[in-house]
A and B are shown apart, each in its own frame.
Chain A
Amino acid sequence: MNAQESLKRRARWRVPEIVFWLVAFGALFAPAGKHLLLNEIAILALFALSLDLILGYAGIISLGHAAFFGAGAYAAGIFCKLATPDPTAGLVVAIVAAGALGLATSLLVLRGSDLTRLMVTLAVALVLHEVANALPEWTGGADGLQGMTVGPLLGTFDFDLYGRTAYAYSLAILFVLFLLARRVVRSPFGLSLTAIRRNPLRAAALGVPVHRRLIAAYTLAAAYAGAAGALLAQTTGYVSLDVLEFQRSADVLLTLIIGGVGWLYGGIAGAIAFKILQDVLSSSSPQFWMFWMGIFLVVLALVGRERLAGGVRGLFARMARQ
């Protein structure tokens, strides 16, 4: 086995991956009823994928990732009201806006320990939340951004009540951005991030410019989070302050931890588990669903994800390494 063949094998698609995407797209044709939930799952999955890019690959822990989600949501909402209702244009604007915010704040997370990063990212999100609250003429403040009328997708498909168009839109964006992320983490750039996460000093001793790579990764992840925020704003036609709330940052971190950090599918697996649990628990015990969610998380932490998932993920990961 020489290096050329081994490197090629590293980038190959595995069967379970292909099956997963076929099922996800197949769900578009399922009878109406669950597409609103599926849309929420796709958006949360994209948001968690974004966090995985910095936490799982670059090793930057964040408790304020909602800053970029919220920035994307407000950018898409305001752009829709002021410029054009076309969702694709709004999505691009949101990605650029959140990416720019990521680039600007990336300098804050370059140095320091994990604890410093937790505090700094948390603080950035808090500041942004207050800014949004203090600018009601732009954001609607505590009342939320109202009067957003999102145009048809690609000028053709109207967003319907059952969420089928919404799910198709969110899933397509998730898929495209997932493909891009998959490419990025297997690229030379991605390999250098992997090395930085394990040991930044060692990576520098191998000639990796650590700071520049971290800035690029953080900016990319922020742009992804902005896309997720824009999808939420456009498919619900509404933006409220909770897009920037701490709860959202905490939820996405939980989602990613449930699904597993550092293998790209963790965000998707976590989003499916988190949203379905939330859906089941909140319909069976509307007042206590958070209680059961908490119990589940404690069990997950004690028993371990691999055993709880019946080794499914382990199997998946083994196949991914082959």
Chain B
Amino acid sequence: MSVPVSALETQGLAKRFGGLVATNDVSFRLEKGARHALIGPNGAGKTTFINLLTGVLSPSAGRVLLGGEDITRLKPEARVRRGLVRTFQINQLFADLTPLETLALAVGERLGEGTVWHRPVGGNALAREVDEVAARFGLADVLDMRTDTLPYGKQRLLEIAVAFAWAPRVLLLDEPAAGVPAAERQDILDAIAALPADVAVLLIEHDMGLVFDFAQRISVLVEGALLTEGTPAEIAADRRVKAVYLGEAAHG
């Protein structure tokens, strides 16, 4: 076989809730270092698909491979430990913890310190990494503030930062800029553009401007199945996509 190993792959992935088919035989490849976007109208099954990838739901059929390794049966935290990390669309940060505590949690778990009970959170390695991640995402000044008092743009940056703190091989970004005021939006776009090239990024997004700026490849999910996949130019020219998605967006 001369096909290179993908960063993340699904083979015939399906999820049925009773009679409802939420994910229908999806075979999808995310290449190493990819900048890939997944789009689809509301109710296309994007959220179910992410939950299958991250292990929150288990599939009715099919497999999920991370770096060629079958992870279909692994729990969510085990997938995170293997380098598959997601961000959340709706804010699910720990509101009354500080960014410092949130980042220290993620970095600590990655360093294998999560079971350490006899000494305070800290240590040089952990503090250095927290500082690095905080600086990268413009959070150094707000490390000691309660997360729910941060400007929304900073909260979205923390959302990405805490995923990044796991040093992921694959990063799933679920509508990273949704709801962010225009003035803070550029910070988030910059942070996403500055992600290291060796991290494969899958962007799940409604904002077509962001998708076409960012993605080198785009997959279109409709009614739980992959409709098509291609370069931004190909997707923009695809009449079926226009019909189900862009057309709808133009009206709505």
Question: What is the interface of chain A, defined by CB distance below 8 A to chain B?
Answer: 1-4, 6-8, 10-11, 183-184, 186-192, 194-195, 198-199, 201-202, 204-210, 213, 216
B117 and A184 form a contact (CB under 8 A): yes
Q: Which residues of A contact B97 (CB under 8 A)?
A: 194-195, 198
Complex Cα distance, B75 from A204, in Å, reads 9
A3 and B80 form a contact (CB under 8 A): no
Question: What is the interface of chain B, defined by CB distance below 8 A to chain A?
Answer: 54, 56, 75-78, 80-81, 85-86, 88, 92-98, 100-101, 103-106, 108-110, 113-122, 124, 126-128, 130-131, 134, 140, 143-144, 162, 166
A2 and B116 form a contact (CB under 8 A): no
| Contact count A vs B, C-beta below 8 Å | 134
Starting from the known contacts A7-B104, A183-B120, A205-B80, 8 additional A-B residue pairs (CB-CB under 8 Å) come to A3-B100, A8-B122, A186-B120, A188-B117, A189-B117, A194-B97, A202-B94, A204-B75
Complex Cα distance, B224 from A136, in Å, reads 63
A206 and B115 form a contact (CB under 8 A): no
B77 and A3 form a contact (CB under 8 A): no
Pick the residue among B98, B109, B140 that contacts A207 (CB under 8 A): B109
A204 and B77 form a contact (CB under 8 A): yes
Complex Cα distance, B105 from A207, in Å, reads 9
Given A3-B100, A206-B166, CB of A10 within 8 Å of CB of B121 = yes
Given A187-B116, A188-B121, CB of A207 within 8 Å of CB of B106 = yes
- Of all chain A residues, the one with the shortest Cβ separation from B94 is A198
B50 to chain A, nearest CB (A): 11
Complex Cα distance, B141 from A176, in Å, reads 37
B174 to chain A, nearest CB (A): 11
| 11 pairs, A vs B, C-beta closer than 8 Å | A3-B134, A188-B108, A188-B113, A188-B117, A204-B75, A205-B76, A206-B80, A207-B80, A207-B109, A208-B114, A213-B114
Most chain A CB atoms below 10 A, which of B101, B104, B114, B128: B114
- Of all chain A residues, the one with the shortest Cβ separation from B146 is A321
Given A4-B124, A4-B127, A188-B121, CB of A207 within 8 Å of CB of B166 = yes
